[in-house]
Amino acid sequence: MAEVILALDLPSGDASMRLLERVPDVRWVKVGSILMTREGPPLVRALIGRGLRVFLDLKWHDIPNTVASAVAAARDLGVSMATVHASGGTAMLEAAAAAAGPELGIVGVTVLTSFDSESYARATGRDAVALTAEVRRLAAIAAAAGLRGVVCSPHEIAAVRPAFPPGGWIVVPGIRRSGDAAGDQRRSAGPADAARAGATHLVVGRPILAADDPARAFDDIADAAGPA
């Protein structure tokens, strides 16, 4: 049902490669802004060279021309998925989708989970914002602009699913099994529940990275998520 994407939230490329040696079944990895700033395109090339699909999570939000050029750079690098902020406006989203080509799926970040309704209302100059409705609104804008999908919390899967046709990507972090430490994740769900609700990709970091046996943790979660 859903692919598991291993979030490489590790201090270096070397640490990432060592971890990957221990988790042979991984097919997708997420490279975020910290690792990308430290290691850059050579790390992405090395990951792709190992046969992995790379989700480049840089959450672009800029003028359309700049975002389109960044998307083209990611496409040329061989990245399979990348993020933009869905709040960047239709022109930016359309430019991103047009630059991506068929091999790179652009997904829109809806509302960052670090926001609550008050802080989001303050940041956007609005009186009160119901976050689930806001996520639904941004997902509809992202879909209309031609994005492949969105990133959302497990609790918002049902709200965004109608915006995308079958084949659309619903990318969900905050995945925890019942015994996993929550860490700073407040709105988590188990892998089977998230996949059943319609997630197509589960982004998982610490439950695998911090496990004594990361391969077993990965396989557990992938089994629960079901076949892709």
Question: Are 142 and 148 within 8 A, CB to CB?
Answer: no
Residue holding tokens 């994005």? 147
From the CB of 9, what's the least distance to ligand C5P, in Å?
5
Q: Where are the beta strands (DSSP E) in 114-228?
A: 149-151, 169-172, 201-204
CA atoms within 13 A on the CB side of 61: 9
The verdict on whether 59 is a catalytic residue reads: yes
Is the Cβ of residue 112 or residue 211 nearer to ligand C5P in the bound state? 112
Is the Cβ of residue 11 or residue 183 nearer to ligand C5P in the bound state? 183
Q: Which stretch binds ligand C5P (CB under 6 A): 90-98, 120-128, 136-144, 201-209?
A: 201-209
Q: 45, 183, 213, 226: which one contacts ligand C5P (CB under 6 A)?
A: 183
Q: Is 87 in the site for ligand C5P (CB under 6 A)?
A: no
Phi, psi of 28 (to 5 degrees): -125, 140
Q: Is 203 in the site for ligand C5P (CB under 6 A)?
A: yes
From the CB of 178, what's the least distance to ligand C5P, in Å?
15
From the CB of 44, what's the least distance to ligand C5P, in Å?
16
CA distances from 140 to 2, 150, 171 (A): 22, 10, 15
Q: According to the 3-state scheme, what is the secondary structure of 181-203?
A: CCCCCCCCECHHHHHHHCCCEEE
Phi, psi of 85 (to 5 degrees): -80, 125
Amino acid at 157: I
Q: Which residues partner with 169 through β-bridges?
A: 149
* Catalytic one of 59, 61, 177, 206: 59
Q: Is 9 in the site for ligand C5P (CB under 6 A)?
A: yes
Q: Is 16 in the site for ligand C5P (CB under 6 A)?
A: no
Length of the chain: 228
| Binding-site string for ligand C5P from residue 99 to residue 118, where x marks contact by CB under 6 A and - marks none | -------------xx-----
The residues carrying an active-site annotation are 59
The footprint of ligand C5P (CB under 6 A) covers 7, 9, 32, 112-113, 151, 173-174, 183, 185, 203-207
